[in-house]
Amino acid sequence: MPASDICIVNMITSHKNATTAHLALLATNIFFAINFTAIKYLVNHGLVLPFGLNLIRVAITTGLLWIMFIFRPEKVRIERADWGRFVLCALTGIAINQLLFVKGLSMTYSIHASLLMLTTPILITISAAWLLRERLSVYKIAGLAMGIAGSAVLIMSRNHSGNASDVLWGDILVIINAVSYTAYFILVKPLMLKYKPAVVIRMVFTIGLFMILPFCFNEFIQTPWSRYGATDFMILALITCCGTFLAYLFNVYGIKKLGASVAGSYIYSQPVFAALIAMLVLGEVLSFYKIIAAIFIFTGVYLANKST
C-alpha cells in the first residue's frame, strides 16, 4: 500500500476513534444526568432507601468490573506503598462521595444537585493550583467566587416546594460530596499514571464496597422488592449499569483518547440534561433563582479553567 494511502487510512481511523470518544463522553454525562431523576424517582416512591441504593449500585458495579476482568484477565502487581492511596481513594471516591451524594439528592431537588456538582471542576482547579504551588490567577479567584455565589443562591433560596424534604441539608451534603470527589480526583491521578484505569477503578470500587457495607446493609435489607415492577427494575438498571458502571468506563475511555480537559468540558452539559429530565419526569420548575445560580456557576467554571 502506498504511503499516501496508509496516511489516509490512519487519518480515517483517528477520526473514528475521536468521534467514538466524544460519543462516549456525551453518553457519560447523559447517564449521570439520568441518575439525578432516576434516584429521586425510586426514593420518592418508597422503593429504596438512600444508603440501600448505594450498596446496590456499588455492589453491582464492582461485580461487573470483576466479570470484565475474568473475560479480559491481566497480571497486575500493586506495590505495597500504593495500598494506602487506594484506601484513601475508596474512602473519598466511593464511601463519602457516593453516600453523601445519594443521601443529599434524596433530600433536595435534582436541578439543585446537578448545579452544585458543577462546582467540582472549580474545586479541582483551585486545589491543584494550591498543591502545585501555582500562583492563583485573577480568573481562578473570580471563578471560585462566582461558584460560591451560585451555590449560595441555591442554598439560601426560600422558594421551595415539590419533591424535596430538606433542601438546605440536601444541598450541604451534595457540596460536601463535591469536596470529597475533588480529593479523590487529586489522590487517584498518580495511580492512573502508574496502573491501567480499569485496574484502578476495580480496586477502588472493591475496597469502597467493604467500606460502605456496615452503613448501608440495614437500609438495603428493607428494600421492598415485591413492590418492584418492570419499569422500576429498568430504572434501577439505568442507575447501576448505565449511570455507574458504563459511565465510569466511558469517562475513562474519553479521557484516554481526548485528554482530561476535553472530557472535563462535557460536564457543562450534565446540568442541562438533568434539568430537562427533572422537569419532564419529576415536574421540577426551572425558577428564576435557579437560572441565576446556573449563570453564576457556569461562569465560575469557565473562569476557573481559563488560562491567563
Do residues 113 and 36 touch, judged by C-beta distance below 8 A?
yes
Q: Which of 260, 244, 297, 247 is nearest to 117 (CA)?
A: 297
* pLDDT greater than 80 at residue 69: yes
Q: How far apart are CA 37 and CA 40, in angstroms?
A: 5
Instruction: Give a yes or no: residue 288 inside a domain.
Output: yes
State how many domains the chain has. 1
Residue 279: domain span: 17-304
User: What is the predicted pLDDT for the residue at 275?
Assistant: 78
Instruction: Give a yes or no: residue 199 inside a domain.
Output: yes
Q: What is the 3-state secondary structure (H, E, C) of 238-285?
A: HHHHHHHHHHHHHHHHHHHHHCHHHHHHHHHHHHHHHHHHHHHHCCCC
- Number of neighbours of residue 4 by Cβ within 10 angstroms: 8
User: What is the predicted pLDDT for the residue at 231?
Assistant: 92
Instruction: Give a yes or no: residue 5 inside a domain.
Output: no
Q: Tell me which range, 171-180, 196-205, 272-281, is most confidently predicted by mean pLDDT.
A: 196-205
Please give the average per-residue pLDDT across 100-104, as a whole number: 88
Please give the average per-residue pLDDT across 211-219, as a whole number: 94
Please give the average per-residue pLDDT across 54-83, as a whole number: 89
User: What is the predicted pLDDT for the residue at 213?
Assistant: 94
pLDDT grade, residue 78 (50/70/90)? confident
Mean pLDDT computed over every residue of the chain? 80
Instruction: Give a yes or no: residue 33 inside a domain.
Output: yes
Instruction: Give a yes or no: residue 1 inside a domain.
Output: no
Enumerate residues 6+ apart whose C-beta is below 8 A from 94. Answer: 58, 204, 205, 207, 208, 209, 211, 212
Instruction: Give a yes or no: residue 9 inside a domain.
Output: no
* pLDDT greater than 80 at residue 237: yes
User: What is the predicted pLDDT for the residue at 203?
Assistant: 93
- Quick: pLDDT tens for 6-18: 443 344 445 567 7
* pLDDT greater than 80 at residue 152: no
Instruction: Give a yes or no: residue 113 inside a domain.
Output: yes
Do residues 207 and 86 touch, judged by C-beta distance below 8 A?
yes
- Between 145 and 304, the more confident residue is 145
User: What is the predicted pLDDT for the residue at 210?
Assistant: 95
Instruction: Give a yes or no: residue 214 inside a domain.
Output: yes
pLDDT grade, residue 131 (50/70/90)? low
User: What is the predicted pLDDT for the residue at 59?
Assistant: 95
